[in-house]
Structure 1
Amino acid sequence: MKGILHPREQARHRTLDRLAVGPALAEFADRYWVVRWDLRGKPAYRAEVLSFPCVNVTFERSSTRTGGFVNGVCTTKYVRELDGEGETFGIRFRPGGFGAFTGMDVGALRDDSAPLADVLPSAAGLAERVLAEPSDAARAVVVEEFFAGRGRSEDPQYALVADIVAAMAADADLTRVDQVTARFAIPIRTLQRLFRRYVGAGPKWVLCRFRLQDAADLLAHGRRPDLAALAAELGYFDQAHFSREFTAEIGMPPWEYARTAQRANTTPTPR
């Protein structure tokens, strides 16, 4: 899955499963995801992710925190230390989806998280009910039942934001904010305001994040590190700009990331 850094190595330390969302949330969220780990008697592991531009609601049980949380857009590399035994059952809202569903300005949650009941007081006790269920499918039913009927009325601004973000993710030629404003005939200040309110981060950052996710995904899955060609393919002005941005966000140069991925890909994963 795009966004997971060092995916082969991560797979040795935790499991990751996904479930589709039901009709009550399909307009606003795109998947449930479940991470579990059991590192008892083993060293802790730092799992790294370049998160998507969206809000995640998580139900967690671990040695560091337990309960329900709303996690805003993370504009830096997200690092979660996995230690002992734990699990997270999460729902990933679509970019802009949580803001449209709840009516809140999600910019207030950027690079932060808050207890679920603080954000949605009616969710008090929901985490306990979710985590008490014995299966992921049953947990999804509890979440769907809670959110059913709580969505806001049709929101044309959310629909516009969703269309813009989808174009940013899918069109490799869309690399600058001025291209976005021209294609969607929207003033830049309006675009920035909508992205802060619904997405939680600016349009320039979203474009950059999608490009870096693409780069990391290609390098992690065997793309030969011809960095000049890769930079041009992803719309960067030059290789130096791409390398600086990649290194700043991921913590190592792209050639080193590719070499690390190659070593991981040739090492058998324990069964």
Structure 2
Amino acid sequence: MPDRRSATATTAGILRPEEFARHVQLTRREPAPDLARWVENHWRLRWSLPPGRTFPSQVLPHPTCNLTVERGSPRAGVGAERVLVTGVTTERFDVATTGEGWVWGVRFRPGGLAALLGSSVRPLTDRTVAASALLPARTVGVLGRLHAGLGDEQAADLATEGLRHAAAGRVTQGDAAYDEVIALVEALLADRSLVRVQQVVEQLGVPRRRLERLFSHHLGVTPKWVLARYRMHDVVSDLDDGYDGSLADLAVRYGWYDQAHFGRDFAALVGTTPGAYRAQRADSAFTGGAQAGGAG
């Protein structure tokens, strides 16, 4: 089963993690205790590829927003902005990694950015915007001082300073709607038998319309989307961990009762069939794809 280090998130989602770790170094850090109500973790990416070499990194999205400081090759569509906020991405997140680069990221808890801002993140779904459009100028200014020459501890301290400006004056107790969202997400992660929205409604006792409103405001996506992504994370994690059993059995384990439907869903998100993905992973391992790195 996938690694679950937190009640509200997993480390699943990176496609072909062994190959990713050959090209990109990923590290994660816990947030400061006073920010942990809203922040899941800090993460850092670093890469240095030979001239002319490009690595197409691919990640299955989570129901979380991210704040990033990006140094190196700029992402398409963001211009010269370096401090960015990205809402939940509903499709696979693809980035062509080239040259040298460095990214410091803050991954919010599901609903955490909405709770911190006091407003819906629905307009951010499938969008990346300049952080200055959402966060205080002091926060963006401090984050703008982050660069690749800093050690991880220094970078985390600076990012924490910036986030504290954003959190100043925010209520840390009594946000009942956000507390409810966190409790719901914890339940979805803890009980993988929940694969349908109606099951959530019946077993957790939350009215369907309220469930949908909470997720739309705090996450920017539907409960159905969250359930679908979590179980696809589980499937891909099992394949990456070397699952060699029947794909039909794997589909049933995670709530698909029609293997054809499972195959279509997998291909639509991952970009290839479950069988082809497993074969590619096996080929990578056979040719020495597993190297020291930090994809976990």
What TM bracket, shorter-length normalisation?
A: over 0.9
Match of 1:152 among 164, 170, 177: 170
User: What runs of 5+ residues in structure 2 fail to find an aligned partner?
Assistant: 1-10, 76-80
Trace 1:48-127 onto structure 2 (pairs within 5 A). Answer: 48-65=58-75, 67-122=82-137, 123-127=139-143
Are residues 170 and 42 of structure 1, via their aligned partners in 2, closer, same or farther at CA, if it must alter by over 3 Å?
farther
Match of 1:244 among 255, 264, 277: 264
Which residue is equivalent to 1:261? 281
Q: Which has the higher relative contact order, 1 or 2, with Cα contacts under 8 A spaced 6 or more apart?
A: 2
Q: Secondary structure at the match of 2:145?
A: helix
User: What runs of 5+ residues in structure 1 fail to find an aligned partner?
Assistant: none
Between the aligned partners of 1:132 and 1:63, the Cα distance in structure 2 is: 13
The Cα shift of 1:121 comes to: 3.4
- Aligned residue type for 1:23: P
Between the aligned partners of 2:206 and 2:181, the Cα distance in structure 1 is: 11
- Aligned residue type for 1:157: A
Between the aligned partners of 1:124 and 1:218, the Cα distance in structure 2 is: 39
Q: Are residues 1:226 and 2:246 paired?
A: yes
Between the aligned partners of 2:120 and 2:149, the Cα distance in structure 1 is: 31
Residue deviations 1:22-77 (CA, integer Å, cap 9, x gap):
11211111111111110132411110000211001111101225511111001000
- Aligned residue type for 2:49: L
Q: Are residues 1:134 and 2:134 paired?
A: no
Between the aligned partners of 1:42 and 1:136, the Cα distance in structure 2 is: 28
Q: Which moved more, 1:185-194 or 1:57-66?
A: 57-66
- Aligned pair count reads 271
Is the Cα contact below 8 Å between 2:83 and 2:140 reproduced in 1? no
Which residue is equivalent to 1:209? 229
Q: Are residues 1:194 and 2:219 paired?
A: no
Between the aligned partners of 2:149 and 2:255, the Cα distance in structure 1 is: 46
Match of 1:6 among 2, 16, 19: 16
- Aligned residue type for 1:13: H
Between the aligned partners of 2:151 and 2:112, the Cα distance in structure 1 is: 26
Q: Secondary structure at the match of 2:23?
A: coil
TM-score, structure 1 normalization: 0.95
Residue deviations 1:203-252 (CA, integer Å, cap 9, x gap):
00000000001101111120015111001110112211111100111100
The Cα shift of 1:165 comes to: 1.2
Q: Which moved more, 1:239-248 or 1:36-45?
A: 36-45
Between the aligned partners of 2:169 and 2:89, the Cα distance in structure 1 is: 24
Trace 1:30-45 onto structure 2 (pairs within 5 A). Answer: 30-45=40-55
Q: Which moved more, 1:24-33 or 1:196-205?
A: 24-33
- List, as ranges, runs of 4+ consecutive aligned residues in structure 1 with deviation greater than 6 Å: none
TM-score, structure 2 normalization: 0.87
- Aligned residue type for 2:257: F
Q: Percent identity?
A: 37
Q: Secondary structure at the match of 1:131?
A: coil
- Aligned residue type for 1:233: R
